[in-house]
A and B are shown apart, each in its own frame.
Chain A
Amino acid sequence: AQTVTQSQPEMSVQEAETVTLSCTYDTSESDYYLFWYKQPPSRQMILVIRQEAYKQQNATENRFSVNFQKAAKSFSLKISDSQLGDAAMYFCAYGRETSGSRLTFGEGTQLTVNP
């Protein structure tokens, strides 16, 4: 079975600084997708960024970017110019070809942004 591991239960960053959240996964599949979701205190899950495994280029969305290392099965999220509104729980998720769009989630990383 696929597993997703987030080894950092909590992280903190100063406003305007950069922070990197780690995620590793285990799979024998070659085609899959990886996601980062954000869950603010409202508990509404919001998609932050998505990466296709067949693409070598790392995905970026404004201040959010990923470092996708397929051979190492690593998928970290970098948040640049951190803002107070970035404070949330961040979940890494994996979806594989044979399961449609069902996702396997990591345990989450609670990010605190200090003013």
Chain B
Amino acid sequence: DGGITQSPKYLFRKEGQNVTLSCEQNLNHDAMYWYRQDPGQGLRLIYYSQIVNDFQKGDIAEGYSVSREKKESFPLTVTSAQKNPTAFYLCASSIGILGTEAFFGQGTRLTVV
């Protein structure tokens, strides 16, 4: 079945550590996105990529990094520079053309302990 797979579902990180969230899609989509979801704030865009080997900062990119070496994969690294990393992270993909549907993964809940 085609879709987006995020792993792990739950992730715990100690303060000061970097952690990488995985996002893989087999929909042959060009565009991929990372959103952060906090209670009462909806979804905020962290980074997005419209083509392999290219990506742009979203609205809240500070403390995060990404790579897009393969069309299918768009991992997100939460670095120690991210001051408040505890949140729910959603990965999405789309064909990349305005107006087309974005498909979402099931999310990763990151907790800093």
A68 to chain B, nearest CB (A): 14
Selected interface stretch from B18-26, B70-78, B98-106: B98-106
Q: When the two chains form their complex, are residues B96 and A45 in contact, meaning their CB atoms are under 8 A apart?
A: no
- Listed in ascending order, the chain B residues whose CB lies under 8 Å from chain A are 31, 33, 35, 40-45, 48, 50, 58, 88, 90, 92, 94-102, 104, 106-107
Within 8 Å of chain B (Cβ to Cβ): is A73? Answer: no
Known contacts A43-B106, A45-B92, A45-B104; decide if A101 and B42 are in contact (CB<8 Å): no
Query: How many angstroms from the CA of A66 to the CA of B31 in the assembled complex?
Result: 27
Q: Is A100 an interface residue (CB 8 A)?
A: yes
Cα–Cα, bound, A105→B88 (Å) = 15
Residues of A near B90 (CB, < 8 A) are 45
Interface residue A86 (Cβ < 8 Å from any Cβ of B)? no
Q: A9-B40, A45-B104, A91-B43 are in contact. Are A102 and B48 (CB under 8 A)?
A: yes
Determine if B101 and A97 form an interchain contact, defined as CB atoms under 8 angstroms apart. Answer: no
Chain A residues whose CB sits within 8 angstroms of the CB of B40 once the complex forms: 9, 107-108
Contact of B42 among A47, A100, A106 (CB under 8 A): A106
